[in-house]
Amino acid sequence: MTMKTNKRVARLLSISLLAAATLLSACSKHGGKGGSLSGAARDTTLVIGMLGDADYLNPVIGASLTSSEITGLIYPGLLQGEFDTKTGLVNYLALEKRLRPSSGNPDERSPKSALAKTWTMSPDHRSITYILRSDARWADGQPITSRDFKFAYRLYGNPVIASPRQQSLAELVGADKGQVDFDKAIETPDDTTLIFHFYKPVPEHLALAHTSLTPLPEHLWKNVKPAEFRESKLNQQPVGAGPYRLAEWNKQQTLTLSSSVTCNLPKPGNIKRIIYRVIPDYTVRLAQLQTGDVDVVENVKPEDFPAVQKANPNVDLKTIGLRVYDYVGWQNIDGDYYNQTGKLRPHPLFGDASVRRALTLAIDRQSIIDGYLGQYGVLAKTDISPSLKWAYDDSIKPYGYDQTQAVRLLEQAGWLPGPDGIRQKNGKRFSFVLCTNAGNARRNYACTIIQQNLREIGIECKIEQQETNVFFQNLQERKLGAWMAGWAIGLEIDPLDVWGSDLKKSRFNFPGFINPRIDQLCELAKSKMRTEDARPYWVEYQKILHEEQPITFLYWIRETQGFSKRIQGAKLNISGTYYNIDDWTLKPSVAP
């Protein structure tokens, strides 16, 4: 070994050390103001743990739930939405007008955040006129006018921008011919008058929902070309008028909002700073909740909660209503035959409603709930959530766990025990693959119980897990005979996409369930000018789904969110965990 090599090695080592040091300092380039999180700062800062970062802080293109929640705090709204937990109805408030009178709803909101003073629906329900308040300003001091709305609606409707909210423009004049005619559909006679015209009569609640998309400041965005809209730097520095402003955004790490002191819509946010922290791993999010580094973690699994609370009694579990359910899907039609010929014929196994009822009876849904969800699961009867009380039919008796009855139904349908213990009909064995997406412990648990239950009545069920993207594609292409998945429901009931008979149009009718009465009921319900008046239709709808069992509804999941007990005044409901976050307060920590 010569001295020469010796030196070279030493040099190499020192170079790599130097590189490490440089890199360390290179990482520290994310500068910014901010204080440490000790003492007083902690009492004015809320930290929320998130699975992923926001995408666009822009109401037109923001797609993820996180983005819309944050955008909702930065941008102002035409109306204030309110969820009535007593009835399950959505209410809309303007400064001086409400869609529905106050019903003693515990989750009432202040109408002061609304940009609209009032509105009038034309008698023929073909137009709606808003009168805007004149004292509202963007964070840069420019007044908010009706033109900002018209400008934003053009963006929402621009196919190049591809807004995920363009569905809201579907009733505007021209939309029936394929292209909204903005000059005719939206009028702005002066700064505080905003008029929308529809091509058909629209119920008031739907008109309010669809015309209250968030505006954008025209003076800042007017020179951005549509093709460059998504790339615009303005997306990184949103100018809104809501209770919070964006203070700092370290992509994929933290996003900090600070209370907007000049806000009068309705007022600056109570908590001075909100930090959204990206923590992709669930276990780690939970650990941070336990150490107190994070104040809110959504979707804490109930089985993990006792351990967290034992380690940190200062953590609470809050639930929102029933919004999410799991189900076992049965292919009602022969998927392969349909794909090849475009024609319909019943699925050889699941085509018969009495067989599907038998399958539901044979599955011990209650023991899945008891074994996994406990008090956070509720037996599901149909896809109308019990939280939507105005439409939910309480009188339907759920199918119990009754294997004798299941066997009777199967034998009536011609499925008799075969030599290998598996039922047969005309030489066909009752054997199928139950697919689900990989990595969901709850669904795995349920699949195993279902497999066991069906085995007991002579049905062979193999379980297959598929990567989520693959699973979803197979589902859309009707390649799966039986599968386990779930839906999150919207606040408005609109199930045509999921159950409509026109399989080309109803993209989410994965089971291929066809019942023209369901289509009629959906249309009838939509034609009612008051939401509540549609109840009889939804009651009939639930009876049909219960009778036909196009899928086996398993259970509603009471989503559980981990909250630090220092958060006060939080109201949660199915419209969101952060429903009234601008009204939350933090309990001061005891002086050290």
Partner 1 sequence: MLRYILKRLLIAVPLIFGVLTLTFFIIRLAPGDPAAFFIQPGISPNVAEQIRQQYGLNDPLPVQYIKWLGNVLHGDFGRSFSRAQQPVVEVIAEALPVTMTIAILTLIANFVFGIIIGVISAVRQNSFLDRFLTVTALFFYSMPEFWFALMMIILFALKLPLFPVSGLNEVGAESYGAFGFIMDRIWHLALPVTVLSINGSAGIARYVRGSMLEVIRQDYIRTARAKGLSERVVIMKHALRNALLPVVTLMGSSLPFIFSGALFIEVIFAFPGMGRVTVEAIFARDYPLIIADTFVSGIMIVFGNLLADVLYAVVDPRIKL
Considering only residues 241 through 300, tell me which ones interact with partner 1, judged by CB under 8 A.
251-254, 275, 277-281, 283-284, 287-288, 290-291, 293
Provide the token pair at 213.
Answer: 């998309």
Identify the bridge partners of residue 127 per DSSP, sorted by sequence position: 197
**DSSP secondary-structure letter at 259?**
E
Radius of gyration of the chain (CA): 28
CB 487 within 8 A of CB 326: no
Closer of 69 and 352 to partner 1 (Cβ): 69
# of chain residues touching partner 1 (CB under 8 A): 75
Residues 165-204, mask of contacts with partner 1 (x by CB under 8 A)? -xx--x----------------------------------
- Which residues in the 54-83 window bind partner 1 by CB under 8 A? 55-56, 63
* CA dihedral of 461, 463, 466, 472, whole degrees rounded to 10: 40
Candidate segments 1-9, 77-85, 123-131, 552-560, binder of partner 1 by CB under 8 A = 1-9
Q: Which of 291, 128, 93, 278 is nearest to 211 (CA)?
A: 128
Cα–Cα distance, 498 to 514 (Å, whole number): 11
Closer of 428 and 507 to partner 1 (Cβ): 507
Q: Which of 550, 373, 368 is nearest to 450 (CA)?
A: 368
Asked whether position 237 contacts partner 1 by CB under 8 A, the answer is: no
Closer of 110 and 235 to partner 1 (Cβ): 235
Task: Compute the least distance from the CB of residue 3 to partner 1, in Å.
Answer: 12
Strand order, beta sheet including 97-98: 80-84, 89-94, 97-98
Element (H, E) at 220: helix 218-221
Residues 135-164, mask of contacts with partner 1 (x by CB under 8 A)? ------------------------xx-xxx
Task: Compute the least distance from the CB of residue 476 to partner 1, in Å.
Answer: 7
- Which residues in the 7-46 window bind partner 1 by CB under 8 A? 8-9, 12, 16-17, 19-20, 23-28, 30-37, 41, 45
Task: Compute the least distance from the CB of residue 119 to partner 1, in Å.
Answer: 23
Closer of 34 and 348 to partner 1 (Cβ): 34
- Which residues in the 466-525 window bind partner 1 by CB under 8 A? 467-470, 472-474, 476, 487, 490, 494, 497-498, 507-508
- Which residues in the 217-236 window bind partner 1 by CB under 8 A? 230-231, 235
Looking at beta carbons, which pairs linking 515-522 to residues 24 or more positions away fall under 8 Å? 515/544, 515/548, 517/544, 518/544, 518/545, 522/494, 522/495, 522/496
Closer of 411 and 494 to partner 1 (Cβ): 494
Q: Which of 353, 359, 331 is nearest to 509 (CA)?
A: 331
Task: Compute the least distance from the CB of residue 18 to partner 1, in Å.
Answer: 10
Provide the token pair at 48.
Answer: 């929320």
**Residue found under tokens 């809050």:** 318
DSSP three-state, residue 424 = strand
Task: Compute the least distance from the CB of residue 370 to partner 1, in Å.
Answer: 28
Closer of 251 and 517 to partner 1 (Cβ): 251
Residue 393: CB atoms within 10 A of its CB come to: 17
